[in-house]
Amino acid sequence: MGLLEGKVAIVTGASSGLGRAIAIRYAAEGARVVLADLREAPIEGGQTTQVMIESAGGTAISVPTDVSDWEEVNRLVATTVERFGRLDVMVNNAATYTSTNLVETSESQWEQVLRVNLTGMFHGCKRAVQQMLTQEPVDEVRGRIVNVSSQHGMVASPGDFPYGVTKGGTVQLTRQVAVDHARDLIVCNAVAPGKIITGKPGAANDPGALAYSHQRTPWPRLGRPEDVAGAALFLASPLASFVTGINLMVDGGWMAG
């Protein structure tokens, strides 16, 4: 049996990158996975996340969702429960960025990044907790929330002011939910990736930025989406007992250096 056998999980931003890797890993471990994203086609190209999961014998459905819209997140969770009966794991991964510093960031850019990265996470946590409160505990837990933060929730995100601020907010939001709902038997943690190589276009894969990341990362390679998926699996599984409110670094030692 897999670590998530029989569990039901929602993963936002599941079409590409970290969300895609998390969803595929959860399905491989026995979870029925609901894929929430604005698009189905992966940035990396190739098959959709749903096709990859189903072709490997897993179970997945796709529910187009804009996490910044409460009604869409409400519908996402309602659809999940209607289809699978409950919600065991909520992964709030959907995010956007602008690659702009303070003076370059327009008000509309600021509002968009906050709407997706922070308000979207608020929506996901709130709606998940509402559902989990109605469920009977299984192995002392009503449900688990895994938020995707960043090492840039702990240190500044150079040249990306809105993104860094929202990731700092994610870390505190995670603590708040964990503490406020521990007595309800709802677990909430965050996973904080360091430099992970994904198909994300633009500054993230600039050769100079990659060289700097190699220099800053003690481990002799940069991260892969599967590294983050492994940590997200741990936090979603019964192995993470008595673990709540943490921000688990997956950064090859960057923050320890």
Please give the residue range of the domain that contains residue 110. 8-252
Whether 236 is covered by a domain: the verdict is: yes
In 206-231, which positions are buried (b, 16+ CB within 10 angstroms) versus exposed (e)? Answer: eeeeeeebeebbeeeebbebebbbeb
Q: The tokens of 211 are what?
A: 């060289």
Q: Is 212 a catalytic residue?
A: no
- Please state whether the predicted TM-score (pTM) of the whole model is above 0.75: yes
Whether 181 is covered by a domain: the verdict is: yes
Strands of the sheet containing 8-12, edge to edge, are: 59-64, 32-37, 8-12, 89-92, 143-148, 186-193, 247-250
Whether 144 is covered by a domain: the verdict is: yes
Residue appearing with tokens 């998390």: 22
Per-residue pLDDT of the chain (257 residues; tens, 9 = 90+): 899 999 999 999 999 999 999 999 999 999 999 999 999 999 988 999 999 999 999 999 999 999 999 999 999 999 999 999 999 999 999 999 999 999 999 999 999 999 999 999 999 999 999 999 999 999 999 999 999 999 999 999 989 999 999 999 999 999 999 999 999 999 999 999 999 998 665 555 678 888 988 998 999 999 999 999 999 999 999 999 999 999 999 999 999 98
DSSP annotation of 136:
P
DSSP state letters, 48-77:
-HHHHHHHTT-EEEEEE--TT-HHHHHHHH
Whether 3 is covered by a domain: the verdict is: no
- Are 141 and 187 contacting, i.e. CB atoms less than 8 angstroms apart? yes
Name the residue among 59, 92, 95, 97 with its Cα closest to residue 76: 92
Whether 257 is covered by a domain: the verdict is: no
Whether 225 is covered by a domain: the verdict is: yes
CATH number at residue 58: 3.40.50.720
- Are 50 and 62 contacting, i.e. CB atoms less than 8 angstroms apart? yes
Residue appearing with tokens 């090492």: 151
List the Cα angle 41/42/44 in 5-degree steps.
140
What pLDDT, on a 0 to 100 scale, did the predictor assign at position 209? Answer: 81
Crossing angle, helix 120-132 and helix 161-181, to 10 degrees?
Answer: 20
Whether 40 is covered by a domain: the verdict is: yes
Tell me how far apart the alpha carbons of residues 106 and 87 are, in angstroms, rounded to a whole number: 38
Kindly name the residue from 26, 97, 163, 212 that is annotated as catalytic. Answer: 163
Number of domains in the chain: 1
Whether 63 is covered by a domain: the verdict is: yes
> Hey, what amino acid is at 16?
S
The dihedral through the CA atoms of 176, 179, 182, 188 has a sign that is positive
Which stretches of the chain are assigned E, i.e. beta strand? Answer: 8-12, 32-37, 59-64, 89-92, 143-148, 186-193, 247-250
Tell me how far apart the alpha carbons of residues 118 and 124 are, in angstroms, rounded to a whole number: 10
Q: Which residues, at least 6 apart from 51, have a Cβ–Cβ distance to it below 8 Å?
A: none
